[in-house]
Copies of this chain bind each other. A is one copy, B any other.
């Protein structure tokens, strides 16, 4: 798998940074993830005003350390790869760049709100941690279940949106701006808040008719919430059952492995199966 043609320091760096199956690579990954987590916690703490006032210097210095580390990593990634453009314009390449730039910009533009927003871009590096999920292996199955039911989910979402438009309009006409339903989009926001059973209560019906319609909507939402659950559960159960059924029977002739439990002959080539 690894390319051993050019065994200089560049290749070693490449191995460390881009591959997770060597000793160095694993440690690099762990340290990188810790650094990302630290940078995320820094952005969070900075947003807490009382904390920022108290420990401004500590936060500032820590940010500079993280930023410089990320810059070194970014440069190392460019140097160690053969076609730097492939990394630079990749999804992670752009995120990695955006994670370092804002702090440098803060030297020129001081204290503007826009910069806080830019600094938050560093949070996008959290996606790198998502790679961790691969180690657990279970995410693939989960993703498959979601993927397999994507059409059903699309139909479901589409119906919810149409329902939301109709409900939003009805409630706007019934309740009106004087009860908080100031516009149709606002009413649609209320319909989603209600259908999903979130129920903030920032907008709620006040007229008897409005409350009656809302009651019907809620009981509807009750039934509707059952649909995505049913879809996903059915997919997971199916994938579980399939996985469950064919754990032992591999055909010795064609290597087909998806036989049902009671199969005596391979359903692919007709060869007799040897069950233990």
Contacts and interface: CB of A to CB of B under 8 A. Distances in A.
A188 to B, nearest CB: 8
A101 interface: no
A272 B266 CA distance: 11
The binding surface of chain A is classed by DSSP as helix
Interface string A230-267: 11111111101100100000000000001111111111
Interface in A172-186: 172-173, 177, 182-186
Contacts of A260: 258-260, 267
Give the interface centre of A40, A162, A188, A193 by most chain B CB atoms within 10 Å: A193
Copies in the complex: 4
B202 A221 contact: no
Given A136-B151, A177-B49, A233-B230, A204 B197 contact: no
Contacts of A193: 199, 214-215, 218
**Size bracket, chain A contacts:** 35 or more
A246 to B, nearest CB: 9
Closest 8 CB pairs of A and B: A263-B267, A265-B270, A198-B199, A200-B201, A230-B233, A230-B232, A47-B184, A201-B201
14 contacts: A40-B165, A44-B184, A48-B184, A49-B182, A123-B165, A136-B151, A139-B155, A186-B211, A197-B197, A198-B218, A226-B233, A229-B230, A230-B233, A231-B236
